[in-house]
Copies of this chain bind each other. A is one copy, B any other.
Amino acid sequence: MPLVRIDLAKSSSPQLRRAVSETVYEAMTQIANVPEHDKFQIVTLHDEDQLIYPAQGYLGVSYTPAIIFIHVTWVAGRSLDVKKAFYQKIADDLHAKAGVRKEDVFIVLSDTQREDWSFGGGLMQYAPK
């Protein structure tokens, strides 16, 4: 049910893009109670001047043109602790697996309701009982 928009640089390698995709999916299923195979993601590549971040950094975090924007749309209800662990795992794993600077991992979460999803076939698979 999450739909994840991943926006990153055209200069990123296909290997990195796969690592981002896999890492986000693993963090979801291992930490955020997302079911197995619930993996829907849209990757969009951008020229360097199309991913805009503050040159001076923000809140003590500094960024490079390798910044990765991860925008998760999912059903509301994850706890504060789950969200914290979710952020940390994605940054840690991307660093460990693909050498990504942790500061370049930007994540935002957008809530929806269960009824706001059709996974295909024209059905409301998560219809309330």
| Count of interface residues, chain A, beta-carbon cutoff 8 Å | 65
B110 pairs with A112, CB closer than 8 A: yes
With the chains together, A57 CA to B120 CA distance in Å?
10
B46 pairs with A43, CB closer than 8 A: yes
Q: Which residue of B is nearest A79, CB measured?
A: B115
With the chains together, A111 CA to B115 CA distance in Å?
12
Q: Which residues of A contact B (CB under 8 A)?
A: 3, 7, 14, 17, 21, 35, 37-46, 49-54, 56-59, 61, 63, 69, 71, 73, 80, 83-84, 87-92, 102-113, 115-125, 127-128
What are 18 of the A-B contact pairs (CB < 8 Å)? A3-B108, A14-B49, A17-B49, A17-B50, A37-B56, A39-B52, A40-B52, A40-B106, A42-B51, A61-B120, A71-B73, A83-B116, A88-B123, A92-B122, A102-B120, A105-B122, A108-B116, A110-B116
